[in-house]
């Protein structure tokens, strides 16, 4: 049985000079409106008052009538209203204790984007025309949209490397649960190997950042030598650094998509470890390697694909001692230094450290399905104390 899933289809496009100028103006106005509304809500919060979306929308109308902000009338009003809705969502997450307090958007560092709803664009015969534009965007249709489906919202963005993208949000009726496989797998993430499966398979870590590290360092040194400011030479040097970063990120994302799609297709249940990557990257000796492995992005992809295709992802408690526990007899070792890659238990079984951890994660995850949702498997040491996971202490491999 198929189910309608909201799915974003992202494409590269090449704007004309007039379209690029219009979109750049729109990006600037979106950022300005967002910051003005955030400042107004912050001041009201200091006075112990609440300001909601409807009040900021009324403020926007008043701002457009002032001489100082009259330029807001030159762009489509829809992306400006969407910016206020995004701010409302950010405050909703903040009050729900799911996110930090919203931050102001920086001209140089924040993402350049604008969102258009159906009233601000026209999509006909495979051509997309935005409000305030007379010509359709020159989009590279690298894959087709769902047949007969029109986008409900369109988001236009420009990355730090200067590339233009358009993301079309559609209902995709083609997403349907995959046939049940009955297979379950434990997945242990690492640095020497990106993934180790409970089947014994090890997937090499591509180390995308390391492959371009020399070229990136050279470009960064060139940027550091340029005079501060908005000079042309500094902009060119900054763009070169951004292009190298974009190349690394593209390769990393492609690898993760292929791995997660394969795992979801082959397995009914996937057990992973609930790692706190934000805390782990505080170890400066491993931060670069951990960031390059992109464990958080891997988990995010795995979870939404599992939801689409009727699979189950189980996250085992991060303090579960998967590496120190013998998967054969459940004996828990006191210590397990990171340089120990194979070890022999007192029961006589010799373990590969990562495969053993993946097997323990699988067993703990399957126990969750038996015990009920929300159970976080824990193991106790022989003296009754709670076992804790060892923190990384070695240098980047």
**Nearest residue to 20 via CA among 123, 124, 157, 121:** 157
**Nearest residue to 185 via CA among 326, 307, 319, 306:** 306
**Nearest residue to 302 via CA among 272, 279, 326:** 272
Catalytic residue among 22, 115, 209, 273: 273
Is 354 annotated in the active site?
yes
DSSP per-residue string spanning 218-239: HHHHHHHHSPSSS-HHHHHHHH
Distance (Å, rounded) from C-alpha 212 to C-alpha 184?
Answer: 36
Catalytic residue among 22, 115, 172, 188: 188
Q: Strand, helix or coil at 58?
A: helix
Report the interhelical angle of 77-95 vs 17-46 (nearest 10°): 40
Is 74 annotated in the active site?
no
Bridging pattern class, strands 312-316 and 269-273: parallel
**Quick one: CA torsion of 35, 40, 45, 46, rounded to 10 degrees?**
100
Q: Backbone phi, then psi, for 105, in 5-degree steps?
A: -85, 130
Catalytic residue among 22, 115, 172, 354: 354
Is the Cβ–Cβ distance between 224 and 216 less than 8 Å?
no
Give CA angle at 250 (358, 196), nearest 5°: 10
Is 273 annotated in the active site?
yes
Q: Backbone phi, then psi, for 202, in 5-degree steps?
A: -120, 130
Phi/psi-derived region of residue 294, left when phi > 0, alpha when psi is between -120 and 50, beta in every other case: left
Cβ within 8 Å of residue 54, ≥6 positions away: none
Active centre residues (catalytic): 188, 273, 354
């Amino acid at each position: 049985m198929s189910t309608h899933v909201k799915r974003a289809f992202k494409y590269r496009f090449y704007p004309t000079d007039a379209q690029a100028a219009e979109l750049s103006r729109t990006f600037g106005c979106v950022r300005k409106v967002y910051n003005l509304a955030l400042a107004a809500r912050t001041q009201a919060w200091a006075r112990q008052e609440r300001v909601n979306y409807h009040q900021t929308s009324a403020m926007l109308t008043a701002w457009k009538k002032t001489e100082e902000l009259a330029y807001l009338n030159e762009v489509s009003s829809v992306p400006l209203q969407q910016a206020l809705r995004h701010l409302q969502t950010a405050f909703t997450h903040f009050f729900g204790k799911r996110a930090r307090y919203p931050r102001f958007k920086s001209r140089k560092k924040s993402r350049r984007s604008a969102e258009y709803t159906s009233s601000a664009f026209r999509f006909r015969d495979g051509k997309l025309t935005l409000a305030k534009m007379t010509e359709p965007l020159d989009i590279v249709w690298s894959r087709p949209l769902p047949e007969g489906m029109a986008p409900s919202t369109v988001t236009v963005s420009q990355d730090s490397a200067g590339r233009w993208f358009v993301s079309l949000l559609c209902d995709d009726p083609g997403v349907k649960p995959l046939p049940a496989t009955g297979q379950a797998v434990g997945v242990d993430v690492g640095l020497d190997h990106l993934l180790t499966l409970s089947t014994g398979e090890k997937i090499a870590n591509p180390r995308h950042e390391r492959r371009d590290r020399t070229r990136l360092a050279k470009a960064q040194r060139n940027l550091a030598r340029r005079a501060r400011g908005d000079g042309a030479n500094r902009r060119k040097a900054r763009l070169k650094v951004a292009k190298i970063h974009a190349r690394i990120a593209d390769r990393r994302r492609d690898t993760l998509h292929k791995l997660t799609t394969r795992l979801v297709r082959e397995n009914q249940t996937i057990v992973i470890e609930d790692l706190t990557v934000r805390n782990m990257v505080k170890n400066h000796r491993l931060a670069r390697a951990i960031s390059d492995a992109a464990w958080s992005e891997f988990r995010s992809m795995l979870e939404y694909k599992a939801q689409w295709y009727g699979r189950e992802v189980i996250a085992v408690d991060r303090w579960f001692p998967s590496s120190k526990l013998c998967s054969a007899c459940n004996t828990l070792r006191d210590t397990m230094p990171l340089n120990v890659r194979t070890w022999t238990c007192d029961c006589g079984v010799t373990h590969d450290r990562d495969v053993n951890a993946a097997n323990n994660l699988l067993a703990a995850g399957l126990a969750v399905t038996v015990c009920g949702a929300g159970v976080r498997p824990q193991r106790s040491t022989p003296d009754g104390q709670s076992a804790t996971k060892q923190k990384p202490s070695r240098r980047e491999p």
